[in-house]
Structure 1
């Protein structure tokens, strides 16, 4: 069936990469670039966790609306063109006078990216109550948010308020996407209980979990997040797949072997795949009352495939629906679903 609309709320960030063909000359003269006088060339791609998720959802076939403050600068125009070309609805995205946020990526030999952010006074964090009230929830079955827009002020508190108001009518999904280089991890830890209280779905990476709950095992951490309110907690494990806990009933799915170009946007693509799968099966729109561990396993398996395809290309470039192979084309270990046991608890 056609999924119902998902509204994504958050930032657009220009992911800036160094062009490997340019750079400063080698001081020893052994590896000097062909054009040292031109310095370091940079290549900018449209990104940002929420924007990447919106693009991934729209390309998979979910009607998707993005609420993001789009600058009128050169990067803002890049965002707008990219989002519209992917099928994202920008009708309610406010035009912003402030500049766009930049994230300069330093990608290592294994494809992992570390970021330096240029984010002070930029458009993404300057939300006003009036802008959000004019946008409203619309007919969304799910509202997804997270990343920097949910933790940076002055807009973060207003976005959290928007999610709380959306909850009576929509499933709420949050991806904290922890960025300790830009925001003190203590700020995430302070906000996490309130995010769990409003979120039906909480998606974290293993790196996020290490920052938010240092020294705590995955299952114990999930139990704490459930106790704070989140029904479905999903932990992505990179090449090792994903672990999920639905009210304490756990699911593990394996990774998909792929040739990694870089991992930029992989987690966002996973979230898009997860929400698309659940929406296509009419499991969004409430408190996940009809969701079962087998549904979670299938959704995570699909999401892992979507993320793997993103890793196989440069930058945050999620696949279109026709590029995602059907289940039977993928080989590997099946999902592991734990029995209900003593860890499961009633849904809220």
Structure 2
């Protein structure tokens, strides 16, 4: 079982392009980075449970229905009367989205640490607003440290929303304190640039983070593809999969889910297995995630693909233990 912890919210997405001061019509879509990851994992066929606090308002009821409809276990959900977080998403000309948030007193930020997770949990995925907004951020950090200490594979996608971070330097320091507890760090090039704060090139920052604890760091580079950097500094790259981009909402979340699903499907969801993965296996995993993300980008909102829309993630027997490929490069 993979547990995804973090916010579930409503994206208010513009359905038309208008010139200011006119206001566009907006559609309400189920969203939130962790919510999207959970939905994507379920659609791909991984056993997944969502840990969050979700409102009992109409938006919250729709969010819970969406989880159950996709096959996400809701046994770890907490409910409350507080309002649902809202995110106003405005896609740009290239399909990328700009966000503003309504988060004051909302349900998801009041989540409490549930205590030790069930023994069948093999991995935890965290990230986005839930690792910023208190008091929930401290609850998730407590869970991160405790579950990692008992051998659970922890994956983090910071998915930085800088406008909600009051003290950037404090957050950057906190982020680096998480690294020794991670199995997988997935970070976008844009987020890596913000986290590095200009103190070092992104490639050097990613390599440094890879040496601070994670079994692997995956860097998403938009149209330039995906890369993985291992603790020894070796780096493997794949190109992105081309598609007609409607918008990029949920693309990074789909990458996170697809990587975790691929690892789970191939019995590699653990520190030693991830550290030992050879070049060929990593390229298969990254290509699988890139294909899944391209499908998400080809339709409006966060609509991750199902398993039957993707090639099989199954590797040939022994492929995870083959020798490293000759084309490994230094990051």
- Superposition TM-score, scaled by structure 1 size: 0.85
How well do the aligned residues superpose, as a CA RMSD in angstroms? 2.3
Q: CA deviation at 1:12?
A: 0.5
Q: Is residue 12–residue 27 contact of structure 2 (8 Å, CA) maintained in 1?
A: yes
Helix, strand or coil at the partner of 2:211? helix
Is the aligned partner of 1:157 residue 2:138? yes
Helix, strand or coil at the partner of 1:7? strand
Aligned CA distance change for structure 1 residues 152 and 201 (closer, same or farther; 3 Å): same
Q: CA deviation at 1:161?
A: 1.1
CA distance in 2, matches of 1:106, 1:337: 42
Aligned CA distance change for structure 1 residues 240 and 25 (closer, same or farther; 3 Å): closer
Determine the structure 2 residue equivalent to 1:10. 6
Higher mean C-alpha displacement, 279-288 vs 68-77: 279-288
Higher mean C-alpha displacement, 286-295 vs 182-191: 286-295
Q: CA deviation at 1:128?
A: 2.3
Q: How many residues align?
A: 316
Which structure 1 residue ranges, 5 or more long, are not aligned? 27-38, 328-335
Is the aligned partner of 1:311 residue 2:297? yes
Q: Is residue 10–residue 86 contact of structure 2 (8 Å, CA) maintained in 1?
A: yes
Q: In the TM superposition, what whole-angstrom CA distance separates every residue of 1:230-274 from its partner, at most 9, and x where no partner exists?
A: 220011011221011011110100011100000000000011111
Q: CA deviation at 1:142?
A: 0.9
Q: CA deviation at 1:187?
A: 3.9
Is the aligned partner of 1:110 residue 2:94? yes
Which structure 2 residue ranges, 5 or more long, are not aligned? 314-323
Q: CA deviation at 1:316?
A: 0.6
Q: CA deviation at 1:338?
A: 6.5
CA distance in 1, matches of 2:90, 2:326: 39
CA distance in 1, matches of 2:170, 2:303: 30
Is the aligned partner of 1:274 residue 2:259? yes
CA distance in 1, matches of 2:235, 2:325: 6
Greater Cα radius of gyration, structure 1 or 2: 1
Is the aligned partner of 1:84 residue 2:68? yes
Helix, strand or coil at the partner of 2:268? coil
CA distance in 2, matches of 1:259, 1:93: 36
Aligned CA distance change for structure 1 residues 154 and 81 (closer, same or farther; 3 Å): same
Helix, strand or coil at the partner of 1:228? coil
Is the aligned partner of 1:96 residue 2:80? yes
Q: In the TM superposition, what whole-angstrom CA distance separates every residue of 1:100-143 from its partner, at most 9, and x where no partner exists?
A: 100001111211110010011111111224xx12x724411111
Q: Is residue 14–residue 75 contact of structure 1 (8 Å, CA) maintained in 2?
A: yes
Determine the structure 1 residue equivalent to 2:193. 210
